[in-house]
Amino acid sequence: MEDKREELGKCPECGKPVYEGKKSYYCSGYKEGCKFVLWKNSLDRLGHADITPAQARQLLNNETVAFTGLKSRAGNEFDAEGKLAKNETYGWQIGLIFGDAGKEKQQPSGREENE
């Protein structure tokens, strides 16, 4: 039987292929115990639509993704770049990068700076 799933990249945990599921991008090595998952709604709290397959592909290739029109808890709009980052407590998330290239600050998604 031919596998019709499109590989989006390699898992940052174990190196196996990552595929798109209904609600997430998941590692094909989950049956062997790999716990990598990137939820499509990772940035919902910041007013961003679901993470697209193209954005997931960039993140899995260790590239930064520009996110525009995000909203802080106070309702202020802001733009930030995001990169895949591992949080020891919550697993893999999109770490937001604020500021100039020389003065970067990373925050896990959902934990934006106070504005």
Q: What's residue 58's pLDDT? A: 96
pTM of structure = 0.77
Structural domain tally of the chain? Answer: 1
CA 43 to chain centre: 8
Q: What's residue 3's pLDDT? A: 54
pLDDT band at 45 (very low <50, low <70, confident <90, very high): confident
Q: What's residue 53's pLDDT? A: 95
Q: Helices (DSSP H) in the chain: which residue ranges? A: 53-60
Find the farthest-apart pair of alpha carbons in the chain and give their distance in angstroms, rounded. Answer: 53
Whether 114 shows a pLDDT value over 90: the answer reads no
Q: Is position 1 within any domain? A: no
Q: Is position 53 within any domain? A: yes
Give the DSSP per-residue string, 50-81. PPPHHHHHHHHTT--EEEEEEE-TTS-EEEEE
CA torsion sign, 55 to 59 to 63 to 68? positive
Q: Which two tokens stand for residue 55?
A: 């954005």
Q: Is position 111 within any domain? A: no
Q: What's residue 103's pLDDT? A: 38
Q: Is position 51 within any domain? A: yes
